[in-house]
Amino acid sequence: MNSYPVTLKQSYSSALQAYLADAQEAALMRAYELGRQATENGLGVLDIAAVHQEALTQVLRPSSPSQETLQTVQAASKFLAECIAPFEMTHRGFREANAALKQQATQLANLNKELDAFAYSVSHDLRAPLRAIDGFSQALLEDYLDKLDAQGVDYLNRVRNASQAMGRLIDGLLKLSRLTRAEMRRQPVDLSATAQAIAEALRKSQPERRVAFSIAGGVTANGDPVLLQVVLENLLSNAWKFTSRHATATIEFGATWQDGKQVCFVRDDGAGFEMAYAGKLFGAFQRLHGRNDFEGTGIGLATVRRIIDQHGGRVWAEGAVDRGAAFYFTLEP
Amino acid sequence: MNEKAILLVEDNPDDEALTLRALKRNKILNEIVVARDGAEALDYLFGTSVISGQDAPLNPEIVLLDLKLPKLDGHEVLKRIRADPRTKLLPVVILTSSTEDEDVVKAYGLGANSYVRKPVDFDQFSEAVRHLGLYWLVLNVPPRSKGR
């Protein structure tokens, strides 16, 4: 135990005497300061009540109070202590829960770091053999083409396609782990302008497609501009991708208010999905569509969720097969 | 020989074969010297070499340097190259799997001339090597080193 309670007793007693002698604001501030120091040193309200009782007894001593007065003071203090005991218990509970939470948070942060380090090294070490698989398959196709029949060529092309697909998966994983390692910086972000720029880029990538973008103006949010750009890129290019089977399509970006919170959304009238699988959408490597229908690694929405989680927000989806999909997100808890 | 050698520092034999293949495919005919770890690379450059078989320093036209290497890693090799007056101006291209910002920034900080990521797709890899050859062996004017 440290010697703080002894110091507190002395300081409290002199401060109380000073206050009772001359009810000055300064003396009250001293009381506040003592209370602050007491909590910092891990003392509870019951300790303060005990110190208070002792100090009060000391204050009364010079005027030689009657035994009766002293007993009254003691009894009153005991009564007060009993009454504030629940506060003390709640406070202690909070403190313990807080300490446990802190420990858990540290553990979680360490685990996350380990996982990211793992993802990083796995990603790099996995790329080298993939390069060899793809490269030597290509060498066979180029140097030994005359010795291969059509099926042999087909098989080698499959090997190459598969290794390149795995390369893209690894890149997606790397990107995901990189995103979470970077520190988040919140600032006002013009989501409308970001969405507009992404829409332009998508339009340029396939100018022959007939897609109408409807982007609400003036939608802003407080968040990390780089991460929010990634969110909108993923959601809008998903919408772009999943409307590709329709002759014309509409992709919408906007925001509504729900329970005092801004809810942003990206909506399309494309392939949609079965609501029964809505919960699966946001897991890494989850795909609801066949590889032949729509390309993709299954990392985009996992990335979106991770970023929204980092912002303390929520993301969810609504959709129906062939009637489009809508993705909603908030950025505040 | 008129054309100076290319020093390829690469520990993975598959990557070595693929890089050689990509160079050949793109008709880059310079002699290619392969060092399989950082120490071998320095041996070659500073003339105490098993590979070069001579004790005078030998400047290649360009160094293609992997980062993840046994003994001395690529960053360390680069640091030594830049620290020595005989090699401090030597063009060094980092050729690696990593695109970690940290690795990139560190390499440039240590004086790398270029940083290229090895793609999984061999066609892309070959294309990258073609560009490298065109730029560093044809377009680029290297500093004249003394006594050569």
What part of B 25-64 touches A (C-beta under 8 Å)? none
Q: Which residues pair with A262 in a beta bridge?
A: A257
DSSP code of residue B145: P
If one counts every other C-beta atom within 10 angstroms of the C-beta of residue A207, the result is: 6
Beta carbons of B95 and B129 less than 8 angstroms apart:
no
**Closest Cβ–Cβ partner in B17, B99, B121 for A167:** B121
Q: Is B129 on the interface with A (CB under 8 A)?
A: no
Closest CA of chain A from B134, distance in Å = 21
Residues of A in contact with B15 (CB under 8 A): 128, 131-132
Best of A121, A124, A178 to substitute, by most chain B Cβ atoms within 10 angstroms, is A124
Share of chain A above pLDDT 90, in %: 41
Q: Is B14 on the interface with A (CB under 8 A)?
A: yes
Q: By C-alpha distance, which of A40, A39, A30 is closest to A10?
A: A30
DSSP code of residue A293: T
The structure tokens listed for A150 are 């059509």
If one counts every other C-beta atom within 10 angstroms of the C-beta of residue B10, the result is: 26
The structure tokens listed for B91 are 């063009």
Residues of B in contact with A127 (CB under 8 A): 97, 118, 120
- φ/ψ of A25, rounded to 5, equals -60, -40
Q: Quick check: A127 and B120 CB within 8 A?
A: yes
**Closest Cβ–Cβ partner in B21, B97, B122 for A124:** B97
How many angstroms separate the CA atoms of B61 and B3, rounded?
A: 8
Query: Would you kindly state where each structural domain of chain A is located, as residue ranges?
Result: 4-97, 120-181, 187-329
CATH class of A4-97: mainly alpha
**Closest Cβ–Cβ partner in B12, B120, B123 for A130:** B120
What pLDDT was estimated at residue B148? 40
Beta carbons of A254 and A228 less than 8 angstroms apart:
no
The phi-psi region of residue A296 (left if phi > 0; otherwise alpha if psi is between -120 and 50; otherwise beta) is: left
Residues of B in contact with A135 (CB under 8 A): 14, 17-18, 21, 122, 125
DSSP code of residue A61: G
Q: pLDDT tens-digit profile of B96-148? A: 888 777 889 999 999 999 999 898 899 999 999 999 988 988 888 877 654 44
Complete domains list, chain B, with CATH? 6-139 (3.40.50.2300)
Q: pLDDT tens-digit profile of B20-63? A: 999 999 999 899 999 999 999 998 888 765 555 555 556 899 99
For chain A, helix, strand, coil in percent to 5 are 65, 15, 25
**Closest Cβ–Cβ partner in B18, B68, B100 for A131:** B18
The structure tokens listed for A78 are 């005991």
pLDDT band for position B2 (cuts 50, 70, 90):
very low
The structure tokens listed for B71 are 């003994």
Q: Quick check: B118 and A131 CB within 8 A?
A: yes
- Beta strands (DSSP E) in A196-239 are 210-215, 220-223
What pLDDT was estimated at residue A113? 77
Which range, A83-87, A132-136, A293-297, is most confident?
A132-136
CA B80 → CA A125, B90, B109, distances in Å?
Answer: 26, 12, 13
Closest CA of chain B from A197, distance in Å = 25
Instruction: Establish, for the pair of chains A and B, how many residue pairs have beta carbons separated by less than 8 Å.
Output: 52
CA A193 → CA A67, A91, A188, A227, distances in Å?
Answer: 79, 47, 12, 15
DSSP H or E segment with residue A304:
helix A300-310
Of A257-271, A274-288, B74-88, minimum mean pLDDT range: A274-288
Are both A4-97 and A187-329 of the same fold?
no
Best of B122, B124, B126 to substitute, by most chain A Cβ atoms within 10 angstroms, is B122
Residues of B in contact with A178 (CB under 8 A): 100
**Closest Cβ–Cβ partner in B18, B68, B100 for A132:** B18
- φ/ψ of B9, rounded to 5, equals -105, 105
| Strand A220-223 with A187-190, pairing | antiparallel
Beta carbons of A222 and A186 less than 8 angstroms apart:
yes
How many angstroms separate the CA atoms of A67 and A73, rounded?
A: 10
CATH class of A187-329: alpha beta
CA A190 → CA A98, A226, B81, distances in Å?
Answer: 36, 12, 47
